[in-house]
Every structure is written in C-alpha cells, then in structure tokens.
C-alpha cells in the first residue's frame, strides 16, 4: 500500500507560501524521515496528509485513490504537543477509548499504567500523555502513522522504548511511518530514507 502526496501547494494567507509543489510517498513497509527548519511547514504538511486541512491544491492518495472523508481516517497523525489534543474535561480512559480499546499487552509494551486511566490530562506529564496519543493512533484501521516530533517530550531511555514498540507494532501490522524530527541521529537509526524539507519543497 502506498500513501502519496502529489504536487501539494498551500498557504495560510496570500503573503506567504508554505508549500509549493510538494510531493512525497511512503510505502507500508517503509519508515521515511523528514527534517527541516522550525516554521518551514512540516507540521502543516502532516496535517494535510492526515486530513486535518482540506483547502489545499494537489492530491493525497492511498493506493491511488482519494481517501474518503467519512468513517475512520486511515492516516493517523501523532502530534508534537499531546496536551493540546486531549479534551481537558475527559478522563484519560475516555480519551483513549474514543478511538479504540487496546489489548492489555499493547498497553504494557507502551508502559501505560492502569491507574493513569482514572486521571485527568493535566495530571499527567508530557511523556505520559504522549504514550496515550501514540496508543490512541494505533487503531486496527490505521494504515499509516505520521509522527510529528513524538519523542521530544521523552527522556532518552523512554524514547528508545517508545520507538521500538511503535516500530515493532507497525512492522507486524504493515503500517508505514512518516517520522518528522530535528534529531538527525535519531532518524538515522531506523529510517529507510531521510528527506530534507527544503529540498523537496519548491519554494
């Protein structure tokens, strides 16, 4: 299966273009890394590919077909700031189960503790919240994961644990990953290919 973005152009206002003729493709068995300066439009691209923004020109296709807007979106985005993606008035159990109910062994591999489920989002640390948002995105219907700086909140030991668990799960279930990060060393460890944002963006 192939997730393909072709000739994407986008701007928030007339004065400044963010993306110009941007093309990129990820296969199910691949992990592609993406690097670039802050403010260059990496997160915008992620949002477009995951269906959060609709008024762009160009095309995002899955297996050559446009992705239908209804139903579960097979491309899931994991955000840079997990605290912004959770309803502050929902307890963590509701936050997680909004997407699906993961089996216990998966919760264990991500180090998710049972008693966190009864807490509110503001009672957990950034790293703890990020485990929830990763697990939430791994719904069985997910075909691609876009990971936008997911491990910057985590310490080095946890970073390894999270990435190993995510990659193991994705390899086993044939899920492709687009990993956005500033950490070149990190991307070089597990990516099949690393793209540099400025080289792909035709501004």
* Residues contributing to the site for other proteins (CB under 8 A): 12, 15, 36-39, 41, 43, 80-81, 83-84, 111, 113, 115, 118-119, 123-128, 149, 152-161, 164, 182-183, 185-186, 188-189
The answer to whether 198 and 36 have CB atoms below 8 angstroms apart is yes
Q: How far is the CB of 115 from other proteins (least distance, A)?
A: 7
Question: Token digits for 96?
Answer: 């997680």
Backbone angles phi, psi at 8, to 5 degrees: -80, 130
Residue closer to other proteins by CB (options 119, 169) is: 119
Owner of token pair 């997911």: 150
The strand pair at 57-62 and 65-66 is best described as: antiparallel
Find how far residue 199's CA is from the centre of its chain: 21
- The answer to whether residues 45 and 19 touch, using CB atoms and an 8 Å cutoff, is yes
In the complex with other proteins, the residue whose CB is nearer, 96 or 187, is 187
Shortest Å, Cβ 143 to other proteins: 26
Q: How far is the CB of 128 from other proteins (least distance, A)?
A: 5
User: Which is nearer to other proteins, 71 or 114 (by Cβ)?
Assistant: 114
Indicate the SS3 state at residue 49: helix
Considering the complex, what minimum distance in angstroms separates the CB of residue 38 from other proteins?
2
């Amino acid at each position: 299966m192939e997730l393909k973005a072709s000739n994407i152009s986008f701007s928030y206002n007339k004065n400044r273009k963010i993306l110009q003729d941007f093309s990129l493709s990820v296969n199910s068995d691949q992990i592609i890394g993406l690097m670039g300066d802050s403010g260059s439009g990496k997160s915008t691209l992620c949002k477009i590919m995951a269906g959060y923004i609709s008024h762009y020109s160009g095309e995002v296709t899955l297996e050559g077909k446009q992705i239908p807007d209804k139903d579960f979106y097979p491309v899931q985005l994991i955000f840079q700031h997990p605290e912004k993606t959770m309803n502050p008035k929902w307890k963590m159990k509701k936050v997680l189960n909004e997407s699906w109910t993961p089996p216990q062994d998966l919760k264990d591999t991500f180090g998710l503790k049972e008693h966190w489920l009864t807490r509110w989002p503001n009672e957990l640390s950034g790293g703890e919240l990020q485990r929830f948002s990763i697990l939430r995105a791994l719904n069985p219907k997910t075909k691609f994961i876009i990971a936008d700086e997911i491990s910057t909140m985590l310490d080095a030991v946890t970073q390894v644990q999270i990435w190993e668990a995510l990659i193991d799960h994705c390899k086993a279930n044939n899920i492709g990953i687009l990993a956005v990060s500033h950490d070149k060393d990190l991307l070089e460890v597990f990516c099949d290919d690393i793209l540099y944002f400025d080289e792909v963006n035709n501004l």
